[in-house]
Structure 1
């Protein structure tokens, strides 16, 4: 019981952190370009994760990983954080935060769909029903409540938001074949991504030193989206006796996020966002219900 309570504490702490990041993205992008935000947030996250490993006496393991796993670290780092966050922040720069974060929550469904070609898993009827429900929610949000009009508020922003779900899902599915320890692997990914992101910023002429507000926002994103939250979530999953119970905490995050977006970013929360988010969360719940029913039947 003590370990389960700790698991809930870690899990809730991670969810609370994730609930703040959509607001942090939008506020930071008022002072930084998407590429600059990726660069400074990734640098902060790399410092945090490396520091965490060193404090836990794993510095030698980190150095060994740099020498032996640099190819996989460069590959995974190019995908996440480099390309994934470049695409995600493009979505946030073009869309209201409430719309970008709601659409981004379809990544769990995208992962189930991508697992068919990548992991050769079969597609279940529940997955198809969940997909229909989730993407109807996306259409509702993207068209401001007129899903069958196909008149998007910002088609480019919606494309970037959906593209980010593909990249995030592909990253974690490919990660199933990664033999590196998760925390060590993430630290190496961020370290090896920094030259790539810096080169992209240099090519675009975006290496100028930003305002302090932008740096503060990037530091917050680096710790609470990319660094500390991953450590909290790993601890929650390690301590829990039921991964499903901890995973259900994720459903709290988008709802809390909407309140923060309203109060700190100043966006009026549209009824179409609430309806669309309800459809997305309903689709994700349906997907989980199907997975559990299959496990019980098996």
Structure 2
């Protein structure tokens, strides 16, 4: 439980770290440097576990799967997510991104051929109202809203839900899979760099935020979370702790960035999280 609490606390600081890093670098540069940090951290973990020899046992299909997953996460997912943070206040980008479990329920209809229950449909409707309240600041007016930023934030939920569906079928060791995925994602980012004007060397002041994102939003924290779930006898209940992270994010955004938090944001976020937990309760109870 303590380890899970540490992970939730770290993920709660992610939005603030994104905002700080994006003061110095572009979304693409943040993707490159944070992914590189994650690859190094995961390589050190594999070395500590003396797991490099296990790569010889990884079947070809797993390598191909890792390539596909790496294209989604970190490459496409974080590129879109960071672009959303660059265009929107952190509280809006973060809150919209947490709607991904409901997008997952929608994707499961055509991909897994799972019918959408009435309860799930109602939960999605409630979360849509919550998202609308967050985006409009409670005024329900679209004036002054960056439509591209909102589209990017919602697009990130679609990418992450797609990644989750594909990754759920993966059979590889989780740390090896993470390393392969981030390695492929970093390689794709480097190959795509000419399309984004190259990669500039960031100033010294940017490095703490870049490294922090790479360690505590990406690679290392995923390993800690997997470890916490393995140690827990109630993994499903432990997983619900993750929904404390967005509310912690609002606190850190206000205290560290100085971002004023609209009263509508925690209210809309509460609607989204409540809808997620409500529809999950139905799913897990049968």
TM-score range, shorter chain: over 0.9
In 2, Cα distance between the equivalents of 1:238 and 1:115? 26
Deviation at 1:69, TM superposition (A): 4.1
What is the TM-score normalised by the length of structure 1? 0.91
CA change 1:46–1:291 in 2 (3 A) is same
Question: Is residue 92 of structure 1 aligned with residue 49 of structure 2?
Answer: no
In 1, Cα distance between the equivalents of 2:162 and 2:248? 27
User: Who is 2:149 aligned against?
Assistant: 157
User: Who is 1:4 aligned against?
Assistant: none
The C-alpha deviation readout for 1:234-279, integer Å capped at 9, x for no partner, is 1121122222210121121111111100011110100121221121
* Cα contact 1:144–1:153 (8 A) shared by 2: no
In 1, Cα distance between the equivalents of 2:157 and 2:113? 19
In 2, Cα distance between the equivalents of 1:272 and 1:206? 39
Aligned residues: 286
Deviation at 1:152, TM superposition (A): 5.9
User: Who is 1:43 aligned against?
Assistant: 36
Q: Which of the residues 175, 180, 190 maps onto 1:198?
A: 190
Q: Which of the residues 44, 66, 76 maps onto 1:73?
A: 66
In 1, Cα distance between the equivalents of 2:55 and 2:44? 11
User: Who is 1:134 aligned against?
Assistant: 127
User: Who is 1:167 aligned against?
Assistant: 159
User: Who is 1:112 aligned against?
Assistant: 105
In 2, Cα distance between the equivalents of 1:91 and 1:285? 25
User: Who is 1:262 aligned against?
Assistant: 254
Aligned 1:257-296 pairs, distance under 5 A: 257-294=249-286
Deviation at 1:169, TM superposition (A): 0.5
The C-alpha deviation readout for 1:106-134, integer Å capped at 9, x for no partner, is 01111122122222222122211110111
SS at match of 2:188: helix
* Cα contact 1:100–1:158 (8 A) shared by 2: yes
Structural RMSD (CA): 1.7
Question: Is residue 244 of structure 1 aligned with residue 263 of structure 2?
Answer: no
User: Who is 1:3 aligned against?
Assistant: none
Q: Which of the residues 191, 200, 212 maps onto 1:208?
A: 200
CA change 1:214–1:97 in 2 (3 A) is same
* Cα contact 1:140–1:272 (8 A) shared by 2: yes
What is the TM-score normalised by the length of structure 2? 0.95
User: Who is 1:25 aligned against?
Assistant: 18
Question: Is residue 15 of structure 1 aligned with residue 14 of structure 2?
Answer: no
In 1, Cα distance between the equivalents of 2:258 and 2:73? 30
Deviation at 1:288, TM superposition (A): 2.2
* Cα contact 1:143–1:153 (8 A) shared by 2: yes
Give the unaligned 5+ runs of structure 1: 1-7
More off after superposition, 176-185 vs 220-229:
176-185
Deviation at 1:81, TM superposition (A): 0.3
The C-alpha deviation readout for 1:181-235, integer Å capped at 9, x for no partner, is 2221111011122221012223322312111222221111010011121111111
In 2, Cα distance between the equivalents of 1:291 and 1:73? 29
In 2, Cα distance between the equivalents of 1:183 and 1:152? 43
